[in-house]
Amino acid sequence: MVAPPSATISGEVVMLLGYIIPATITFTGSPPYTFTYTDGVTPVTVSNITQNPYLLPLSPTNNTIYTLVEMNNNSCEGTVSGSASYIVIIPTETNDLCQNALPFPDLTIGVESCVNGTTNGALAELPFINQSSCGNQNVPTPAVDVWYTFTAVANIADISLTFDMDTAVVAIYEGTCEGLIGRYCDISYDGTLNTTFAPADPGATYFIQVSGGSPTDQGNFTLCVDNYGESIDEICIFGQSLTAIPSPVLGTYGPNQAVTFCLTVDGYNANAVDWLHGIVPEFGSGWDVSTITGTISPPTCESGNGYWAWYNTMINGTGDNSPGPVGPGFFFEKTPGENNPANNFGDSGDDGCPWTFCFTISTVASCPPGVDGDNLTVEFQNYSDSESGSWNAPTSICPEDPNFVFKARLSCCPIPQMVGVFPSCASPTSGTVTATPSGGTAPFEIKWSTGDSVVINNGNSVIDSLSEGFYIVTITDNSGCVSEASFTLINNGSGLPITATEDAAICPGDEIQLQVTGDDIVEYLWYPSSSLNNNTIANPIATPTTSTEYFVIVTDDNGCTAYEQVLIAVLDPPTPYAGPNKQICPGSSTVLNASGGVSYAWSPTTGLSNPNIANPVANPTQTTVYTVTATGVNGCTATSQVSVVVVPEPFFPLEDIDTTVCTGQTVQFPLSDINFISNYNYQWLPTTGLSNPNIPNPIATITDDITYTIIVNNNYGCQTIRTITIDVQAEPLSVNLGADTLIC
């Protein structure tokens, strides 16, 4: 009879709203498996599963416990067990602003990560950064938008969006929210958007803006990121990143603005096919290319005499993949003095040898209204030595490497600086917005409006008593130059400031007290709760066995909520070794030798020369198990044990004896009850008169006084010594007096 199949669901998850985090289902029995699970309301059936265990993607919108209802493996009905607990953290501040961008789940190279999101209820605004265009189409404005952030782990990111809005725009930025640099955007109208963003810089943080086509074009979506690109089959150039000083203001630069750019390339997937040979910036129409100055070339990564330099001329490579003349730009010259990069190979750097290329350029000096909004894109084209050099590599993928693109636009009139104070749960109409002209000629005319075109003509640079919403300022200076900017006020959650325990690290087995403080808090809820002594108080004791991120949600007496998170890392303990077990003879000693720590403490201390060193001398009088406690570099401890066995002396039951015999007498030593022990070594000394000097009870023929010594050794080197002293007595005089006679 075949045992019935089974399925068990497990998981304890604390997640932000919108995350897609799998539960684990393990099976017994042979596949394929079919199972039904429920959130307590709606059953869902999943069929034809062959993976074991199976990761079931789940994205609840509130706290949920999932269980299994039934399962089978197409042969037999099975049994189900287990549960998966999901705690959903609803952010107290919406991700309607870059500053409140929701973090993407941690990325893994080659593994797609997704979130569910919505623009429903989001506020309309002007695009935070105008990226000039998305696929030669203007970005819809104003429009609702939401923000996410992720940390790259590889060089290429495939981004997909499924949506139910009429229009969807995905825009990607790097930098900080106060100085975002537009990198890429794409637009779609058919419910799906699939695009690739590259190059990404592993370890760098990026922002994703998802927006609709208008203030009313709202809906739900699923956003996915698949980050990859490490092998030579995928990419040659590694980790491109850019600094722009100064950063654009709301994605714009004014006229006659000098900007210093520095592009860093972290490395190149050096191989027998291609090496990096050229970096050529291509400029949008809003830049004055005649103003390029201050070019700084990086040092070479190779060991030879080659060097990088800026060339104002066009370079026409002769390799298999030459695109024709390219430049001006930075090129690698292999032979000093030749001054012809087209006749050279590239710089043979690899990952870990970065190059940084810098220059300064200005925007156009004259900015009539006809060029307002002109393109300030800078595209950094990269070339291998089979493109701009002389290397022949017909099968190289390096010519397909992505170019780094910086996006901005020209603003003829200075963009005003915008700051605001957000309203809160406790004070929903306490918001303010301030607009400060950053240039132009006074006096200024200032007009305010909302995203739905409601005009607020107060003429002041500050508007107050505001609820959450979208506010646009239009400033006209005395010369008629008009600039526009916007600011979005969101409810910043509870307005309840709370302070939680700082992230900390503990050793395995230790405990730590968590703490959250704030005014007028009436309710606490900590997750996960399994390693807490009480998850509904302000200061629970945590005893995690693995590194754990704890979330705490608090509610004040106004019903407003706030949350914080605390990471408690469980450090790795040392791995001590007390050494192999030892055997010693009574009265002897041995050296112990511990390893795996930076300090040591032995116990018991009996018989040790020093209990606080790695290698004490041990001479216990009886068998002892010593325990060493080793402390690692991080202060954590662990133990190991070693036994020191005190081996008994070889068994020889008789003590030293003396006896007397007559001359020439043959003596069987009185040891006949001592049996031969195979792992003992017997040696009688001297051997004179002995039938066998290597057994415990030889026969001795005695002619003179003699003392025999027997040495008994066991296989541990321990020995017992006994002596037998034999005195020889002269034979008595014998007189024959004849037969007995009777006389009177």
Question: What local confidence, expressed as pLDDT, does residue 604 receive?
Answer: 96
Cα gap 401→229, rounded to integer Å = 11
Cα separations in angstroms, 631 against 270, 286, 602, 636, 643 = 43, 63, 12, 6, 21
Question: What local confidence, expressed as pLDDT, does residue 360 receive?
Answer: 97
**Which has the closest alpha carbon to 695: 704, 705, 708, 707?**
708
Residues 92-135 pLDDT 10s: 557 888 888 888 888 999 899 999 999 988 877 765 555 656 76
The whole-number average pLDDT for the span 419-428 is 81
Give the total residue count for the chain: 744
**Token output for 638:** 């662990």
DSSP per-residue codes, 251-311: TEE-TT-EEEEEEEEEEE---SS--EEEEEEEE-TTEEEEEEEEEEPPPPSSSSS-EEEEE
Q: What are phi and psi of 479, to 5 degrees?
A: -95, 0
Residue with tokens 């006074």: 442
The whole-number average pLDDT for the span 374-378 is 89
Cα gap 151→91, rounded to integer Å = 20
Question: What local confidence, expressed as pLDDT, does residue 137 receive?
Answer: 78
Q: Which residue has the higher pLDDT, 440 or 280?
A: 280
Q: Which of 234-243, 343-352, 478-487 has the lowest mean pLDDT?
A: 343-352
The answer on pLDDT for 485 being more than 90 is no
The whole-number average pLDDT for the span 664-685 is 70
The answer on pLDDT for 347 being more than 60 is yes
Question: What local confidence, expressed as pLDDT, does residue 743 receive?
Answer: 57
The whole-number average pLDDT for the span 526-551 is 91
Region for 658 from its dihedrals, namely left if φ exceeds 0, alpha if ψ lies in -120 to 50, beta otherwise: beta
pLDDT band at 91 (very low <50, low <70, confident <90, very high): low
The answer on pLDDT for 453 being more than 90 is no
329: which residues sit within 8 A by CB, 6+ positions away? 278, 279, 280, 281, 310, 311, 315, 381
Question: What local confidence, expressed as pLDDT, does residue 219 receive?
Answer: 94
Q: pTM (2 decimals)?
A: 0.63
Q: How many CA atoms lie within 13 A of 649 on its CB side?
A: 12
Question: What local confidence, expressed as pLDDT, does residue 457 receive?
Answer: 73
Cα separations in angstroms, 136 against 67, 139, 143, 170, 184 = 49, 9, 18, 14, 12
Mean pLDDT of the chain: 86
Question: What local confidence, expressed as pLDDT, does residue 703 receive?
Answer: 82
Residues 293-329 pLDDT 10s: 989 999 988 767 789 999 999 999 988 889 999 999 9
Q: How many CA atoms lie within 13 A of 530 on its CB side?
A: 11
Residues 43-84 pLDDT 10s: 999 999 999 999 998 989 888 999 999 999 978 899 999 999
Residues 138-181 pLDDT 10s: 778 778 889 999 999 988 999 999 999 999 999 999 888 877 88
3-state secondary structure (DSSP) of residue 366: coil
The answer on pLDDT for 676 being more than 70 is no
∠ CA 330-331-333, rounded to 5° = 140
**Token output for 630:** 């080793």
Question: What local confidence, expressed as pLDDT, does residue 492 receive?
Answer: 65
Q: Estimate the share of the chain in helix, then strand, then coil, as percent rounded to the nearest 5.
A: 0, 50, 50
For the four alpha carbons of 27, 28, 33 and 34, in that order, the dihedral sign comes to: negative
3-state secondary structure (DSSP) of residue 371: helix
The answer on pLDDT for 332 being more than 70 is yes
| Contact yes or no for 378/357 (Cβ under 8 A) | no
Position 568, amino acid:
I
